[in-house]
Structure 1
């Protein structure tokens, strides 16, 4: 029993010694490990501090940039706000103009429809006019052909007309007038003309020359009071008179009762106003 007790006591002591040894070893190991961990933690803290300081500087730089951008953005916002207000005013003005334009467009559309109707009517009238124009052109060509024919006839008639006027308005000859004998020359001045009658006479004895119209010539022949447009006498006569339209007689008379008169005469008529006939164009 005593031996067993000793054995148990010894075993307990051994266990205590082992426990104490283990405790001491554990304490030493714990202290060494904690120191290493602390150093490692300090190193990590330094590294984190450095990183954090760098991040702070970077963040501070970004903040400065953002602050500058903010000021620029604020300025741009103010400018944009002013632009927006101007644009808003322009928009309202444009909207008002749009309303006016829309009204004008509606009115113009109505006018367009009216004009379209008028155009259709005008187009129909144009077709009719074109047909009438073609017919009129054919008529014009026929009329032009007739006009050329009439123009040729007029030219021939005009030549004949002037030949007649020349015949009636001009003359020259020689004559022997017995006592109280006369000769005469007809002068025609048609409507639209004035004529200057030139008379030149050379006679062996004094003679008398008159320019009558037909009425006064009859009055003179019948011994009634008469009038005249020209009177002259002598052996040499060179005179003229300008008269209007009418039929006249140049009357050459030998007033001598006993002596004949040998004479030569030349009568010319100058027409100074164009005849009112169809003229060439």
Structure 2
């Protein structure tokens, strides 16, 4: 197994990404949540025994002419091409799953198979009574992020992120052990401003459920039974609309399933990939 701590890749528009690369064989690209590749520290060594694992950080600047969500999705085939790959196994968590869902809408041919872990159909930042209004307003908040976020004091950014993204959705208040809360928080604080804004903007732009009816590749949905970002009826609806989709719900877990239940998650995903490679899916 070959391992390179970091590799810097220059994309077509001149943006540079750093990626953690380990292992060899069929490429497996991992897209993380707010803290990029560090979230996958339970997965990288495990899957590097079987695949060429590519765990990139996200870009830190807009792609000209693209929304943030489209830019992050377009980076996937661009990054793979720079590494000499045209297709890959793809796995994303939370915002990473949303980015891969957009990629499946636009360029499904890039994927051999896809794992969407703890994704969500659209971002909820307000009480249910305001959801309809929020769906219309959220996509227009991106310019404000670029204007305001970099100017906020560091402490204000942490409080804002916790209040809007973590506390509101109860991700870090229920069903996750204290060690996972601390791990995510301190990894988040080291994330660059531009990269953070790109991901927050992508999440805000994702105001409607994805249309994955054209995704003819195998898709596995993995979620925690107590994940408040994806209600059971939403999980079922998304799975039913996937031409080649299936789902696994991990009992007793919330939004951070790959981190807090790595053994169950890793073996489940590996079994899925093995079925794909054997032609059973």
| TM-score with structure 2 setting the length | 0.18
User: Which one has a larger percent helix, Structure 1 or Structure 2?
Assistant: 1
Structure showing greater Rg:
1
More strand by share: 1
Calculate the TM-score normalised by the size of structure 1: 0.18
